[in-house]
Homo-oligomer: A and B are copies of this chain.
Amino acid sequence: MNEFDFIAKYLKPLAGKEALALKDDAAIIPAGEDAEYVITKDALIEGIHFLPKTNPADLAYKIMGANLSDIAAMGAAPRFYLCAACLNPSIDETWLSTFTTTLEKIQKRYKVVLIGGDTTRHPGSLMFSITMIGEVPKGMALLRSGAKVGDVVWVSGRIGEAANFKSTRYLRPEPRVELGLALRDIATAAVDISDGLVADIEHIAKASDVKISLQADAIPIATGATVEKAIVAGDDYELAFTASPEMNDIIEKLGFEVTPIGHVLAGSGVQVLDAKNQPITLTKKGYTHF
């Protein structure tokens, strides 16, 4: 049973309407008359989500980046976070000092503050769970379910850099928070690229009940990466989004590095076409940690 079957069978029956049918990476709860909170929670475990002996500064960027990226994908402004940390005997005061000093830098950069959490010592792997809370004007959150037939599919930045585990992009992801905010009135659907371009765009296709067709040679690839590897590699934390073609000019002029890479069609699933418009066969669509 994979993660998605598990969610469908066991977790959906528990989920409130605020969970958006567990189709998005975050839930939405009311925050008064005019606003809503977007809430996401991700656990990161040493040896699974980050390399053993990752230095504390990189680790702070990694765990915050992964969660801020979910907030960015919903078009929300980061506000608050809680952090549960399971530390082990390898963690000394120097480590803690670097880790928390780096968190402070990230808090200033993304305008978010710590509001709580829990720290435990145990003998096992390092484990962090972050709950990140962002705010959006009511009804303005970007969902995965809004893509419309005829929409253009876009991606930010360059894909595949994080496939190199020594790259800055892998070690210190830069969640696209400002782009997410700029897309609130523009995009019909958005997702952050954490599992892999194709896997994450498939989440939009499924949630929106559409087919998405990507042009391989349009995908902006990081230096040193190949398109085949890049489109299935995770951890880039770029945003992929859909928008009406009428928005093309506005999107180009937003001032962000964004590239049109495909179209939304009727149907289901994701296809990647080569230069001759033939579908590329993908062996591995992306990462799942379940």
Which of A115-123, A177-185, A225-233, A261-269 lies at the binding interface? Answer: A115-123
CB proximity to B under 8 Å, residues A100-143: 100, 103-104, 107, 113-122, 124-125, 127, 129, 131, 133
Asked if A282 lies at the interface with its beta carbon under 8 angstroms from chain B, I say no
Asked if A89 lies at the interface with its beta carbon under 8 angstroms from chain B, I say no
Q: Can you report 5 A-B residue pairs in the complex whose CB atoms are below 8 A from each other?
A: A15-B114, A26-B116, A32-B35, A39-B80, A41-B118
Asked if A14 lies at the interface with its beta carbon under 8 angstroms from chain B, I say yes
Let me know if B39 and A82 touch, CB within 8 A.
Answer: yes
Least distance between A222 CB and chain B CB atoms (Å)? 27
Knowing A32-B30, A32-B35, A43-B84, say if A18 contacts B100 (CB, 8 Å). Answer: no
Quick one: which of A35, A96, A120 has the most chain B CB within 10 A? A120
Asked if A150 lies at the interface with its beta carbon under 8 angstroms from chain B, I say no
Which of B32, B40, B49, B84 interacts with A42 by CB under 8 Å?
A: B84
By a CB distance below 8 angstroms, the chain B residues around A118 are 41-43, 129
Least distance between A25 CB and chain B CB atoms (Å)? 8
By a CB distance below 8 angstroms, the chain B residues around A30 are 31-32
Binary interface profile of A, 64-87, with partner B (CB < 8 Å = 1, else 0)? 000000000000000110111110
Which of B40, B93, B100 interacts with A116 by CB under 8 Å?
A: B40
Let me know if A96 and B32 touch, CB within 8 A.
Answer: no
By a CB distance below 8 angstroms, the chain B residues around A31 are 30-32
